[in-house]
Amino acid sequence: MAHSTGDSRYTYEEYKQTADWLLSKTQYRPTMAIVCGSGLGTLGELLKDQVVFHYADIPNFPQSTVPGHAGRLIFGNLNGTPCVCMQGRFHLYEGYPLWKVTFPIRVFRLIGVKMVIITNAAGGLNQDYKVGDIMMIKDHINMPGFAGQNPLSGPNEDRFGLRFPPMSDAYDKDMRKLALAVGRELGYSKMLKEGVYCGIGGPNFETIAECRFLNRLGADAVGMSTVHEVIVARHCGLRVLGISLITNKAVIDYDSELTANHEEVLQTGKDSAKYLEKLVTTLLQRIELNNNVC
């Protein structure tokens, strides 16, 4: 069952239809959602007592078309926290309008989610970053937004949020502080970073001039996702923790022989996912103990 084609956006009733369908198919009532980036789908495998849905079977859900994105929605328990996990997300470069890219976020809100952990594979613009580093996102730059590409464009749905939501507090400070503390306890200090993520449209990787430009704007990492999901999550009142895995170094030297490629991104994601998995599972255990989600 799919949303009709054309320029019409999802209605509130369609979001609710999908949410009600999911709630009718599982006993789980998740308070936490996890969105997996390229090569990071193994985060979903950590959930215990899983109930799995393929995107193709969920009413109104878009389909993931990118290698490294399984296209499954998994409900389960992770260290005592009921979670829902997206193994595969949607992107502007797949040809989806942003109201489709961000569809799952509002569905999560309607099934009772309070917080979302959004992960991605990103290129390191900050020259101090190394491949395999984990960056806690403290802020973002929405490049498509400068050209009018925003998931909140069009009529506002007041039942989700305000017409003009602030984004100065997009990334939850308390959760970021807790995640950094957990990372240090796990011995990850050398690979832990905190920085600004720049979202671009893709699907091509950036030119050298673009990388230099974005770095001078204040971006530490660059990728093709996350920003639009964060905007919609904050619009509907969800707390957000954003985490980038640095899977390649952005090329800023014209004499360099290096080029970015998706296979490298997926392999680095696979190689470094264990660190991110340990961080997220330990973090959720700490959240459960501190009752920090609600």
pTM of the predicted protein model: 0.92
pLDDT of residue 294: 47
pLDDT digits (tens, 9 = 90+) for 229-260: 999 999 999 999 999 999 888 888 888 877 77
91 catalytic per annotation: yes
275 catalytic per annotation: no
256 catalytic per annotation: no
* Statement: 12-290 belongs to CATH 3.40.50.1580: yes
262 catalytic per annotation: yes
- Tokens 């991104």 belong to 265
**pLDDT score of 13 more than 50:** yes
From the list 136, 224, 233, 273, the catalytic residue is: 224
Share of the chain above pLDDT 90, in %: 71
From the list 33, 94, 171, 244, the catalytic residue is: 94
Annotated domain spans of the chain = 12-290
pLDDT digits (tens, 9 = 90+) for 181-211: 999 999 999 999 999 999 999 999 999 999 9
Structure confidence at residue 292 as a pLDDT band (50, 70, 90): low
The residue among 88 and 261 whose pLDDT is bigger is: 88
54 catalytic per annotation: no
Name which of 5, 33, 1, 7 is nearest 110 in CA terms. 33
**pLDDT score of 5 more than 90:** no
157 catalytic per annotation: no
pLDDT of residue 7: 58
**pLDDT score of 156 more than 50:** yes
pLDDT digits (tens, 9 = 90+) for 46-96: 899 999 999 999 999 998 777 766 789 999 998 888 999 999 899 999 999
From the list 121, 135, 136, 175, the catalytic residue is: 121
The Cα 77–Cα 174 span in angstroms is 23
Structure confidence at residue 160 as a pLDDT band (50, 70, 90): very high
Residue 260 exposed, middle or buried by CB count within 10 Å (0-12, 13-18, 19+):
middle
The token duo for 1 is 């069952």
122 catalytic per annotation: no
Structure confidence at residue 1 as a pLDDT band (50, 70, 90): very low
From the list 136, 248, 250, 275, the catalytic residue is: 248
pLDDT of residue 80: 82
From the list 55, 86, 91, 120, the catalytic residue is: 91
pLDDT digits (tens, 9 = 90+) for 101-130: 999 999 999 999 999 999 999 999 999 999
The Cα 36–Cα 89 span in angstroms is 7
